[in-house]
Amino acid sequence: MQNGVPSLFSDFYRQHHGWLKRFMSRHLSCQHTAEDLTQDSFIRLISRRENLSQIDSPRAYLTTIAKGLLANYWRRQDIEQAYLEAQKHHTELESASAEEHYELLERLYQLDLMLKNLPPKARQAFLMSRIQGVRYQDIALELEVSERMVKKYIAQAMLQCLTVQTEASV
> What is the domain partition of the chain in residue ranges?
1-95, 97-170
Mean pLDDT of the residues in the chain: 85
Q: Are 149 and 122 in contact (CB under 8 A)?
A: no
- Comparing 4-18, 36-50, 54-68, the range with the smallest average pLDDT is 4-18
Query: Is-same-fold flag (1-95; 97-170)?
Result: no
Structure confidence by residue, pLDDT tens digits, 69-91: 999 899 889 888 888 887 777 77
CA Rg value for the chain: 21
Range 97-170: architecture per CATH: Orthogonal Bundle (1.10)
Q: Under CATH, what is the fold of the domain 1-95?
A: Rna Polymerase Sigma Factor; Chain: A (1.10.1740)
Q: What is the pLDDT of residue 32?
A: 95
pLDDT above 70: percentage of residues in the chain: 91
Question: Could you tell me the pLDDT band of residue 1, with boundaries at 50, 70 and 90?
Answer: very low
